[in-house]
Structure 1
Amino acid sequence: MDEPKHEEVQELMEDVAKEIGYEWNDGDKPRRRQSSDKGSPKRSWTPVFFIIAAIIALSLIIQWAAKSRTSGQYNELKSKLEAIENRLALVEQKLQAPSNIASKVSNLESQVGGLETSIGALSARLDKLTERRKKSAGKARSKATIPRNSGKKIYRVRKGDTLYGVAKKYGIKVASLCKANGLTLKSVLHPGQKLVIPAK
């Protein structure tokens, strides 16, 4: 420490010690003044009151600063809490959406089930119409190709029959069998199909 500052500090300490009733000696240790000194002046409490007032003011300032800091933190926490509540509301809405989706999915599943039933009914109806068409086509062909009292016979195709086998069985040529039935040599026979057997 610088020498002038040290002297100032020492003088200040001596003054404070005198004010509060202590004497400053050369050993740098304050000593309580003897109260038996009749000539000593009365102590002044003014500096003590100023010190106490300063301490009280300092504590009030510290409390005010802490309170204002706490108030700022409170406002910050409040805004964060509001943000969390908003997020929670959004999450709740999203959680309710799957229940809506589940009901929509079940509706769609029931609609698909109804469509499958309709498709099944239409497929059965189509099969019946196809079968009728085949029957009527076979009847029309046989009526057109078989004149009455012409001596021609009708043969119902069985599993494993071929054009060659049927022609051989009736002793006719394969070409005449094909011509009478509107077939080619590469035509495939199906069980239940009716063939006109031409006269020899």
Structure 2
Amino acid sequence: MSDLASKIESVLFVSTRPLSVKRLAEVLDSDSKKVETALDDLGKRYKERGGGVSLVRAGKEYQMMSSGENAKIVQEFIREEFTGELTRPSLETLTIIAYRGPVTKPEIEQIRGVNCSLILRNLMIRGLVEAEEDKKLLATRYRISMDFMRYLNIRDISELPDYERLRSDKHLQELLEKKAETPPTAS
């Protein structure tokens, strides 16, 4: 497998949404033609080897998905996985989005200090978070959903406890400084 195909595979694996050839080329600082060739090679490899994961093309976008043969077990797992209680890292991420949103993934990761791709995917699957494209920043921004607000029985995000104080940049800076002084823990 080429280095470019390996990078594409990694990016598609952690992406919370399908990606176009153009977007992959931007992210990987590569040429669109090379990305298309690598995607074709990657698609052939997945098709030849079979297995539980496949590379799916929908129009001009690509995404990694579980194979159709495993749909029943995957649906059961998702139902169990996403109906239970939220983990502490999920709650932390949801809190950041609620008080700081709309916010980008790198901003969330700067605050938390760890990769949040899977947590964001889980929160979106649960319907608590929504992704929106920011055309100016050329980035995805995350915000809480109406389901989140309905669940908490609030009509406006500002009804969250200490919303104005916790939303301020000054308070966030204090928290980041405290976090920098504290040894990291496993999340």
For normalisation by structure 1, the TM-score amounts to: 0.16
Higher RCO (C-alpha under 8 Å, 6+ residues apart)? 2
From the two aligned structures, give the one with the greater strand fraction: 2
From the two aligned structures, give the one with the greater helix fraction: 1
Larger radius of gyration: 1
